[in-house]
Structures are given as structure tokens and as C-alpha cells.
Structure 1
Amino acid sequence: MMKYRSDIDGLRALAVLSVLTFHLNSDWLPGGFIGVDVFFVISGFLISQIIKSEVTEGRFSFLSFYKRRIRRILPPLYIVLFFSLLAAFFLFLPEDFDRLFYSILYSSAFLANQFFSKDGGYFDIASDEKPLLHIWSLSVEEQFYFIWPLVFFLAFRFFSRFGKKALDLSLTVFVACAVALGFIYSQYYLLSTHAGDSVYFLLRLRFSELLIGALFAFLPVYSPRRGCHLFQLVGIVLIVGGLLILDKQSVFPGLNALIPCIGAGLFIYGGRSEQAADGWLMRVFQRPYLVAVGLISYSLYLWHWPVLAYLRYVYGTYVLPVSWLLVAVPCMFILAYVTYRLVEQRCKRLNIGFMMAFLALFLLPAFALAGLGLGLKAIKPSLGLDSALLSYGTDVCHGTFDKRCLRGDPKQTPRILVTGDSHAAALNSFVDEVGRNEGWQAYVVTGSSCSPVFGFNENVLPESSREPCTNLKEYVATAYRHYEAVVFTSFWSYQLGKEPEAADPDYLSKLEHTLRSMAATTPVYVLSDVPELAVSPIRQELFSRLGIHIDRAPGEKAQVANAVIKQIVDRIPNVYWVDVGAVARPFAEQGRYAGRMAYFDNNHLNVYGSAALGQLFTQEGHRLFASRQE
């Protein structure tokens, strides 16, 4: 029986509190996400110690191993999945509920990391509003548990023929080589493919982190007292350094993941010796309050993210009011404690065999969740909204050139190029209205998340957006001279890096270079962005029907970003600023105009809103190209 170490629970507390702080607001602890990596090392260490001990003593059983994993991990997970499904039924729009249901199915099959690596897109529900996004790490661990016991067992059988001394050394060298190869592969893959967030969740880039725990489990115990204390001190310094130095823009996991992983490994390794017991750092991490948090850390990790995700879905922004957080955080700890006492502890003590555990704690709950989800999908009411209110059009040339790209007066030849990202796509109906009124026709081509400035770095975009962005950039760079004018607009706050998603860090300089280059031969008209809403009007419609009415602070990011872009425009000859945001202000308070939704999310106009903006623009006496004459 492996000796219980309360300092490891203290380390668990540090890990979960780091993740929790990061998820409350990433600005508070930029590297807080590495708490997950600390968990990986702890899991790798404990599991490997258990497996090695049992295999060495000849009492290892795969069925017994997986029975313990089922009792330990699945009951709390299914509790969270169940309540997440119920909450989504009431609070989510139908399409968001569907995505949540699929994520539950994948989570039940230990494939949540695969699901979230492929899930998402510019108009998908935001990452911080996906209640089960955090289950990716649990799926990584479960996949590791399926592979590692077998690999270790085969390696043990192979190396044991060389004797006990050679066996221990061979196993240690074997794991060390696997760790080195894993981190080298991870770093190479991230740098060579520019894969971005899509591979952040995958086992092949993470297995080496769990194996670091195994490596420190297999190393011989280091007994000298000072050395043990030094190992633990260096380990905590590395972890704290990672928390402060790393951030969302760091290449990760890759070699940067070595910082928290080696730190966690050293801390755990230093505590293996009896000589470490009287160290001051050991005493700190054995404090009752830290150990208590460590004991509920699994349930706290499971609960904290859904609580935050649903609150963000309702409130509409990543940064929640302090008053909401003061309620949310105690709720997380209460839910975690209750789950730990009533579910975790009781299920761990269940005296049942593997088959009963497999059926009662895995298979039946998984099928029950699937059945419940299908039933709720079938009865969840639709909002019954007009299709024109739910998109910016299905016939637009957005990421492709084979739809209806021409807008405006059909009697005229297309002499205007309109381009940009999805916010330009959302102005298709606006361009159509204004063009018909002013007597010109435009060719409108856009790309998701892609503002086609010269040299734009499409590798920061989601993988599905990269090739369309490359094609759009090439077309704009070669074709703009063939038009009499270029109309350019984008989701300015996103392109300036003011949104949670990654952006080209050199966007502003590239934009200025592009505008100057185009303006040398062709006049350019830069449109302001429309005001952003606190929450999408579709959600407001749902919440209104549920009787949920919330006062939200109005968004100011669009206004601030517009001012930055206008400063650049104003200093470049033959480039003109067109403020459509001022015309759209009547839409901004509730995202509605004349009793109908003018937006389909918190920053994109829908077909109706875009057309209404064009009508207002002309009715108020504006002309898109009037700035040139003035």
C-alpha cells in the first residue's frame, strides 16, 4: 500500500487554485493554466508508483486497475454532466444545446479532447462559454491510463530478464527517453505546423507531461535532508515562475511545459524521502486548509468551469461583475465539497467487481445521459425566429468566391471592391442598399476572421479559416488596382487583439502599410465598426421568455477600436473614413430596430439589420463616397 502524502494534496490545491484564478480572469494570473500540467505530473507519478509496485509484487490486474479508475473518476464526472445538461436545456439556445449534448457524448467516451480540438469556429459559442471545455484534460488522462499500464507491463517483462538492478535502471532510462522524445516532438510540431489551439488538447502533445511524473516515481529515493528541501524549493520556484511568466500567447505545451512539469516533479520527488518531513516548505503544503482544498480539487475542477461558463453565457461577457463572482466562487466550493463527501468518497469505498463497476458506474450512466439528452433535444422549443434574423446571408462570398458576390445596382458594372473579415460580410445587405441608391455595383469578398491586409498572419486563425484567408489575401493584393475604389472594414477590436481570440500582433503596422500601398493607385474607404452589444439579441429573446432581466454594462471596445483605426486613416492621403457606427447607434441598446432583431450575435448585424442600416444611411443624407468629394 502506497503511503499517503498530504503534501501532494497541498500541491493539488496550488494547481486547482491556479486554474480557478486563471479562469476567473486570465489577467489575474497569466500562467494559471499550467495548473493542469501540474495535475498531469501528479497523476503520472501516483499511477506509475501503483502500477510498478503491483507489477513488481506480481499482483497487478488490469481489471482491478480500471475498476479503481472507474470508481474514482466517473461518478463525479457524470454528476457534473447531468446537471450541465439540465442547465443547458433551460439557458442555452437550441443550437448551443446541441453542441453541449455532443460534447457530453464525447466526454462520456473519454474523447472530449478530440471533440474540442475540432469544435469551434468564428461564430460558434465562445470558448469561455462551453461548459465542458475543461473535460479535455480528463480525457487526456483517461487515454493515458488506457495505454500506459500496458506499455509499462510489456516494458517490465522485457527488461526484467536482465536482473533487478538493470530492470530499475532500464525502466528509468526508457521513461526518460520517452519524455525527451515527447517534448521534442511537441515543440517541433507546434513550431513547424503553426497548429495553434487545435492541438492543445491532444494526448500526443501531452503524454510526456504525465511521464515526467512516472520518471520521478522510478528514480531512486534521494535521502540527504538538504537535498530534499532544495528539490522541493526549486520545484515550487519553477511552478510559481511559470504562473507569472507564461501566458496565453506562449508556445504551449512544447518545451515551455517543462517549467511547471519539472517543478511539480521535483517537489514530489523531494518529498519521497523521510528526511523531507521537517522542511518548512513541506509543512506549508501540509497545512490543513491546503490539504482540504486538495482533497476536493477533482470535484472543484469539475464544477468551477460549468458555473463560470453558464454565468458568462447569461451575462454575455468574459469579465463577470465582482458581485457575480462573489456568489459563484462559494457555490463552486460548496458543490465540490458536497460532491466529494456524497459521491467521491462513497464510490471509492464501493466493494464491487470490475463488471459491476463497468455497468453501474460507466455504461448505464452513459446511456442514461445519452437518452436524456436526446429526449431534451426533442422537446426543447425553438424560438421561431425568421431566418433573415439569424445570419448575414447564406449566399455571400465569405471564404469562397462561388456564391453571389455582387451587390448594389445590377445595371452597373462592378467597379467597387468591398473586403474584410466577417464584419464586412455582415454588411452585404448594407452595400446592396447603398449601391442601388447611389448607382454602383460592388464585388464583395470576405473571409472568416481574416482582415486581408498585406502580410496578414493567417496562422493565428482557427485552422478552418487559414486557407480561405490565404486565397482572399492573394485576390485582394492582385485585384484591387482593377477597381475604381476599395471599401475596407473589419472587426477592429478583434484584429487589434482586444478580444479573447488570438490576433496578428503586427496588425496595425500591416494595415497602415496596406492602406498606403492601395491609396497610391486606388482610393480606399475604411468603414467604422458597428457598436457591440452586451449580449446577443437572440439570447436576450430567450432570457426574456425565461423572465431573466439583467442590467449589463454597454460594450465600448468597438468605439475604442474605431478611434484607433481612424487615427491611421486620417494621416494617409486618398484614404477616407466612413462612420457607419454613428448611423447604427439606434440598434445598439437592445440590438433591435423597429421591433425586430438587427443583430444575430453581440457584434454582427443580421440580414435585416444590415439592410436597415443601409436604408438609414441613405435616408439621413449620407453617401458612401462623399468623403472623396469633400
Structure 2
Amino acid sequence: MHPTYRKDIDGLRAVAVISVILFHSGVTLFSGGYVGVDVFFVISGFLITTIIYREIEANEFSIARFYERRIRRIFPALFAVIVFCLIMGFLFYSPDDFRRIAKTIRYTVIFYSNYFFARKTGYFDSDAELDPLLHMWSLAVEEQYYIVFPAVLFIVSKYLKKKYLLWLSVIFVVSFVASVYGVQSNLNRAFFATGGRAWELILGSFIALNTIPNIKSLLIKNILSLVGLILILSSIFLFNDETVFPGPSALLPCVGAALIIYSGIESSEKLLVGKILSLKPFVFIGIISYSLYMWHWPLIIFSEHLLIRPLLMTETFFLLGLIGVVSYFSWKYIEQPFRSDRFFADQKRLFKVTLSIMFIIFLLCLVIKATDGFAWRSNIATDVEWKKWGECSKQSELNIDASKECRLGKVDNEPSFLLWGDSHARAMAYGVSLSAEKHDSTGLIASANGCPPLIGVHNPDIEECLDFNNRVIDYISKHAEIKMVVLTARWAAELEGGTYGKEASEDIKLIDTLSMVAPERDGNEVVFNKALKRTINRLLQLNRNVVLVSQVPEIGYNVASVYFLTERINRDVNDAIAPSVAAYRQRNKGVEKLFNSLKGLGVTIVEPWKRLCDSEFCKVMEDSQLLYHDDDHMSSFGARLVSPIFDPVFIRHSSAQSK
């Protein structure tokens, strides 16, 4: 061990990694367990700065030697986890999902995944929870920091009169201000960006550089360390995914960690907190904490993926034990052998081998991308109709009657109806078109992703919806030949929230731009109800027949992804994820109540779910064909299956047109 080795710091590592693992395991008591990463940052800043500072002062610092130590410390377990994720992705993930995993690995292996996640998703989003390498963002932050930090210390030592406190304080303030401002302007970026996290590592550096005089009083040190532990534990137990973080909130765990480290200088074994953290179980967990951190999240994600459901409590306890065993063997047989010079004693060879492995992994991920996730592994046929109506939807955002190829039903006739909605209009278009064609009707599609057919409604996350819907209603009012309007959308998402099950989406905020009340005071239910009634009344005023299509059952899982997995583990996809009718009715009870109240206005209600569900469950597959494209959109086969329910609508419409 290093002569200045402190058992209590390994114990502090244990607190950090335990909190992260239990948070990721869904233990509600540890709702703020993610702050363990911030504790790690402070510890890292202290330990790494201590080493660099000592070597600089002794004129022994070598940047090459520094990075050699980083490689020996970080890369063996990192490469092992990446290879494991590639193998699991190849065996059990659909081509699309495997391609996404490979994309994350590309950014992970070059230590840029934090900015990849900052652009892609939020740390607490359901989309993020599906990524087995999400936790690698913190590794990227550290490595980006240590590309710059050693040079900063060296320059301050040699050319800036060793004014460490001054220059590090400047960086600290700039970074902290960036974090505080960032959580207000762009929370995702503030969470993941190195610039807004650097102050946490510098906090540890302040202690390592002896910029704060050491206190001799054991009483004061005991108080400081106890306060530090209280700050950390308060963060772990009181914070949650609603806490605005990092920003000022991150001060609690970071200052807490700094107080424990600072108070333990030269006397940790004499302090109450130091003694607790120096207990053998804590020290052991701290020693293997890097492997614990690296392995825990992939094992949690892959376990839930293979089970196709969240873990039960007993399964969680078993998995925690498995994580411990795997991490111990990783530490003993992967980490430890490479920490010494026994492997790759030649520094240049170590660098070459490391860069070569990074290049091979990066290249393999590009191959996975180029082959669409090794698409040959899947027997799911390309959905041609889905692709076609996707292109038509894009055209309709600019020009509703852009081309005959995008007409519904009899393409050579003049349009007499309009299918209007969000992406669910695109998903249902094929089924509507088949029914319309049978009854000699012709229609148009007006579809925009995330834009339900509600006039006077603004969604801050999708700015174009308000303008799109205004253009659609304007088109209808100017084209008297459009006698019928079919409205469809993912209604429950607007009313109850966008996230459902394990899907990747965010909650939706609706603002009524025509309300006389302050928009932010109206909840989604009020805005939705008023807007749908307003839209229908406007269409009725224009003397149009209105058809409301109820929402198809949401699955909460990407059906194609689960089907790929069930084929490999010999499970039936319907048994695995088919939602119950009760769950569907509960999710849509608010929508159903509103729809029923509109029947008196002469609105026709069409209910596709009745074709998809029996008395208990709603199918996701029939006759060896997937009924869903993803977690909530019909595939073209599903749309064809429900197509007959539109026949009565088009029989009446066709009859009215012929008079």
C-alpha cells in the first residue's frame, strides 16, 4: 500500500458505490443514491492531485507515467465490461437495439459518452434506463478532466509561482457558476458536462495541495467529519429524481466528502467517522468499488432485459450478491494483474496495445452500425407500408395533398376525407386506406410526430405542433370537398403522460393558447378536454363529419425487441408482454369518458382495441406477425388487422358521397 494509504477513504468509496448500486436497483430508501458519483469525484480529485503534486514537487512528474497509471487502473475492467456488453448485445438484443448499444460503446471507448448522453437523453429518463453503459458518463468526465488537469498543475508550479489556491479557485468558481447556470438553462448538459462537474474534483484538489491549514483539535475534526457524513447521508436519503442536480444541490455530498477527507488527515483512525469507515467490510467494498461500479449497471439492465420485467425484491437481493461476486473476480483477476508492471512492463507497448484495442472496438462498432446491428440475425421482415406512410407523413407536414402516392383508398379519385393526427395517424394509415379502397373512398393524411389534432394547444417540447394544426384546420375550411375528418392520436399520452412502461419517452406538457386563464395553471386534463371539444366543434361548424379513433393499447416495451429476445429464450411474446384489458381501460378511462360525452354531438367513435383484445389480454402478435412497430404504434400488419372496423364508417361515407 502507499505510505499515506487511508482506510477511511476506501470506506468512503464503499458508501459512494453502495448508494449508487442501491439507487440503480430501485431501493426507494436510496432515492438520492446517485450522489455517490459526486463523492467519487471528490475522492478522485484528492487522491490523483496528491500523487501529481508530490511528483511535481520532487521533480519526478512524468505525463507518460501518469497516463500509464490511468491505463492500468481504468482500462482492463473497462474493456472487459465493453466486451461483455457486445456479447450480450449480439446474443439477446434486436439489430436496432444492438446498433444503439454499439453507438454508446463508440462514445464510451473514446471517453466522450457524457456529451453523447447530454444530447441524447436525461439521466433519469426511461430511455437512459435501458442503456447498459449509461454509468460510463462519469468515467468520461474524469478522463476528460485528467487530460487537462496535470498540465494545469505543472504550469502553475513552474510558471505561476505555485499559486495553486488562486488558480484552482478561479477554475472552481467558473465551473460552479457553469453548473448553477446550467441546471437552469439545460439540465441534461449540466448533469453530464465536464465543465459543470470540474469543481467537484477541484474540491478534493484543494485538500491535497494543503491550501487549507490542518486542524490539530480532534474535537473539531470529529465534528467536521460527522457533519460531512450527515451531509452525504442526507443527500442519499432525501434527494430524488426531482431534485435539481447538480448545481447548488451537489454541494451537500461534495462538501460532505471533502470534510471527511480533510478532517481525517493524519488522524482518521482517531475519529469516530474514520473508525466506522475503516471497518473491514467497508474497506473491502471500497477496494473493489471500481469493479462494483463498472459491473453493477450492465448486470441490472441485462437481468431485467432477459426477464422482460422489473426485478422482484428477492431477485434484486440475489442480483446484488451476483454483482458482488462478479466484481470481486473482476478486481482480483482483471484489475489487479494489470496494476503492476507484470503485464506490459514496456510503457510504449502498453500504450500501443491499449490504443489498438480501442481502435478495434471502435471499428467493430462502426461495422455493427454499417450492418444495421447485424440485421441478418433477425427474421422480422421490413415493414414497407410503415416506411411509405412515414414518408407521406413528412410530406403532409409541408403539403397535405403533395402526391397521389400518399392518398388513402382510391388514389385516382378526388379526396373526400382527411386522416388527421400525430404519429398514430401514420401507423393507422394503411388500415384506413384498405377500408377506404374497399368502399371507393379517397382521402388524405395530415400527420406530424407528437402533434395530436388539437387546435389552440402548444407543446413547449414540440414547437411546430401549434402551427401544423392551424394549417390543417385552415386546409379543411378551404376545401369543402373534404366531408369527413378522422381524428387519431395517442390520446392517453396527452392526458395521463407520455411515459408508459419501459418505453423511451417523456411526459407531455400541454398549454392552452386560447385560454383566458394563465396557461400554466391548467393541467393536461383540462387543456386536453377543452382543446378536443374545441377542435370537434370547429369541424362540426364547418359541416364536417367527425370520426374519433380510440387509442390502440400501449405495450410499454418495444415489441420487435422483445420478440427477438423471446425467440432466443423460448418464450411466447404474447405471454411475455401482452397488456391486460384492465390495464388498457384504466390507462384510457379519462379518454373514454370524454369520448362518450362527445357521442351526443354526432361524433362517430371507432375502437381498434376491440379487434386486438379478447376478454382479458390484448395481443401483440397474431399468425406469426407482429401487430406493433414499436411499443405503441401499429405495424402495417396490425393496421391491416384492425382495418375492418372502419368499414361501417366508409360505407356511410361512400353512401353519402353518392347522393
Instruction: Give the TM-score taking structure 1 as reference length.
Output: 0.84
Residue range with higher mean Cα deviation, 95-104 or 144-153: 95-104
Residue equivalent to 1:585: 613
Residue equivalent to 1:56: 57
Give the 3 Å change call, closer, same or farther, for CA 106–589 of structure 1 in structure 2.
same
Looking at structure 1, the residues matched to 452 and 247 of structure 2 have their Cα atoms a distance apart, in angstroms, of 27
Residue range with higher mean Cα deviation, 102-111 or 299-308: 102-111
How far residue 354 of structure 1 moved from its aligned partner, in angstroms, is 2.9
Give the 3 Å change call, closer, same or farther, for CA 68–269 of structure 1 in structure 2.
same
Residue equivalent to 1:504: 508
Map 1:313-462 onto structure 2 (within 5 A). Answer: 313-317=305-309, 319-322=310-313, 324-350=315-341, 352-360=345-353, 362-370=354-362, 381-388=376-383, 391=386, 393-398=389-394, 400-401=397-398, 406-408=407-409, 410=411, 411-413=413-415, 415-416=417-418, 418-420=420-422, 422-436=423-437, 439=441, 441-448=443-450, 454-459=456-461
Looking at structure 2, the residues matched to 564 and 104 of structure 1 have their Cα atoms a distance apart, in angstroms, of 42
How far residue 488 of structure 1 moved from its aligned partner, in angstroms, is 4.2
Map 1:22-41 onto structure 2 (within 5 A). Answer: 22-25=23-26, 27=28, 29-41=30-42
Give the 3 Å change call, closer, same or farther, for CA 322–423 of structure 1 in structure 2.
farther
- Confirm or deny that 1:253 pairs with 2:255: no
Partner amino acid, structure 2, of 1:237: I
Residue equivalent to 1:563: 589
Residue equivalent to 2:552: 530
Looking at structure 2, the residues matched to 513 and 289 of structure 1 have their Cα atoms a distance apart, in angstroms, of 60
- After superposition, the C-alpha distances for 1:502-522 in whole angstroms (9 at most, x for unaligned) are 313543333234224334433
Residue equivalent to 2:535: 518
Please say if residues 559 and 628 of structure 2, whose CA atoms lie closer than 8 Å, have aligned partners that are also in contact: yes
How far residue 145 of structure 1 moved from its aligned partner, in angstroms, is 0.8
Please say if residues 316 and 534 of structure 1, whose CA atoms lie closer than 8 Å, have aligned partners that are also in contact: no
2:4 match: secondary structure: coil
Partner amino acid, structure 1, of 2:490: S
Output the aligned Cα RMSD.
Answer: 3.6
1:441 match: secondary structure: strand
Map 1:127-138 onto structure 2 (within 5 A). Answer: 127-138=128-139
Partner amino acid, structure 2, of 1:543: L
- After superposition, the C-alpha distances for 1:243-275 in whole angstroms (9 at most, x for unaligned) are 23333233333333223222222222222252x
2:445 match: secondary structure: strand
How far residue 199 of structure 1 moved from its aligned partner, in angstroms, is 5.6
Residue equivalent to 2:543: none
Residue equivalent to 1:609: 638
Give the 3 Å change call, closer, same or farther, for CA 250–520 of structure 1 in structure 2.
farther
Looking at structure 2, the residues matched to 390 and 183 of structure 1 have their Cα atoms a distance apart, in angstroms, of 51
- After superposition, the C-alpha distances for 1:340-392 in whole angstroms (9 at most, x for unaligned) are 011212211225243233124x1233244456667888777332432127946
How far residue 616 of structure 1 moved from its aligned partner, in angstroms, is 4.2
Partner amino acid, structure 2, of 1:171: Y
Give the 3 Å change call, closer, same or farther, for CA 210–456 of structure 1 in structure 2.
farther
Please say if residues 32 and 243 of structure 1, whose CA atoms lie closer than 8 Å, have aligned partners that are also in contact: yes
- Confirm or deny that 1:311 pairs with 2:308: no
Looking at structure 2, the residues matched to 92 and 297 of structure 1 have their Cα atoms a distance apart, in angstroms, of 28
Give the 3 Å change call, closer, same or farther, for CA 178–395 of structure 1 in structure 2.
same
Looking at structure 2, the residues matched to 449 and 350 of structure 1 have their Cα atoms a distance apart, in angstroms, of 60
Residue equivalent to 1:490: 490
Looking at structure 2, the residues matched to 589 and 338 of structure 1 have their Cα atoms a distance apart, in angstroms, of 45
- Confirm or deny that 1:201 pairs with 2:201: no
Give the 3 Å change call, closer, same or farther, for CA 355–55 of structure 1 in structure 2.
same
Please say if residues 428 and 444 of structure 1, whose CA atoms lie closer than 8 Å, have aligned partners that are also in contact: no
Please say if residues 427 and 605 of structure 1, whose CA atoms lie closer than 8 Å, have aligned partners that are also in contact: yes
Residue range with higher mean Cα deviation, 92-101 or 378-387: 378-387
- Confirm or deny that 1:296 pairs with 2:267: no
- After superposition, the C-alpha distances for 1:511-566 in whole angstroms (9 at most, x for unaligned) are 23422433443357654332234754433443344243275465465443211333
Give the 3 Å change call, closer, same or farther, for CA 211–273 of structure 1 in structure 2.
same
Looking at structure 2, the residues matched to 624 and 244 of structure 1 have their Cα atoms a distance apart, in angstroms, of 61
How far residue 76 of structure 1 moved from its aligned partner, in angstroms, is 0.9
* Percent of residue pairs bearing the same amino acid type: 26
Partner amino acid, structure 1, of 2:39: V
Give the 3 Å change call, closer, same or farther, for CA 349–619 of structure 1 in structure 2.
farther
How far residue 138 of structure 1 moved from its aligned partner, in angstroms, is 0.7
Please say if residues 10 and 294 of structure 1, whose CA atoms lie closer than 8 Å, have aligned partners that are also in contact: yes
Partner amino acid, structure 2, of 1:345: Q
Residue range with higher mean Cα deviation, 139-148 or 324-333: 324-333
Please say if residues 29 and 237 of structure 2, whose CA atoms lie closer than 8 Å, have aligned partners that are also in contact: no
Looking at structure 2, the residues matched to 111 and 430 of structure 1 have their Cα atoms a distance apart, in angstroms, of 44
2:446 match: secondary structure: strand
Structure 1 stretches lacking a partner, 5+ long: 161-166, 460-468, 626-630
Give the 3 Å change call, closer, same or farther, for CA 488–590 of structure 1 in structure 2.
closer
- After superposition, the C-alpha distances for 1:122-151 in whole angstroms (9 at most, x for unaligned) are xx9943222222212111111111111111
Structure 2 stretches lacking a partner, 5+ long: 477-483, 510-522, 541-545, 655-659
Please say if residues 7 and 285 of structure 1, whose CA atoms lie closer than 8 Å, have aligned partners that are also in contact: yes
How far residue 86 of structure 1 moved from its aligned partner, in angstroms, is 1.4
Residue equivalent to 1:43: 44
Q: Which has the larger radius of gyration?
A: 2
How far residue 113 of structure 1 moved from its aligned partner, in angstroms, is 2.2
How far residue 339 of structure 1 moved from its aligned partner, in angstroms, is 0.6
Looking at structure 1, the residues matched to 33 and 451 of structure 2 have their Cα atoms a distance apart, in angstroms, of 27
Looking at structure 2, the residues matched to 110 and 38 of structure 1 have their Cα atoms a distance apart, in angstroms, of 20
Please say if residues 228 and 258 of structure 2, whose CA atoms lie closer than 8 Å, have aligned partners that are also in contact: yes
Give the 3 Å change call, closer, same or farther, for CA 533–242 of structure 1 in structure 2.
same
Partner amino acid, structure 2, of 1:42: I
Number of paired residues? 600
Looking at structure 1, the residues matched to 593 and 644 of structure 2 have their Cα atoms a distance apart, in angstroms, of 28
Looking at structure 1, the residues matched to 29 and 498 of structure 2 have their Cα atoms a distance apart, in angstroms, of 18
Looking at structure 2, the residues matched to 603 and 346 of structure 1 have their Cα atoms a distance apart, in angstroms, of 49
1:222 match: secondary structure: coil
2:377 match: secondary structure: coil
How far residue 69 of structure 1 moved from its aligned partner, in angstroms, is 0.6
Residue range with higher mean Cα deviation, 438-447 or 569-578: 569-578
Map 1:102-113 onto structure 2 (within 5 A). Answer: 102-113=103-114
Looking at structure 1, the residues matched to 475 and 293 of structure 2 have their Cα atoms a distance apart, in angstroms, of 56
- After superposition, the C-alpha distances for 1:219-240 in whole angstroms (9 at most, x for unaligned) are 2223322322222222222222
Looking at structure 1, the residues matched to 262 and 385 of structure 2 have their Cα atoms a distance apart, in angstroms, of 56
How far residue 62 of structure 1 moved from its aligned partner, in angstroms, is 0.9
Residue equivalent to 1:463: none
Residue equivalent to 2:481: none
How far residue 440 of structure 1 moved from its aligned partner, in angstroms, is 6.1
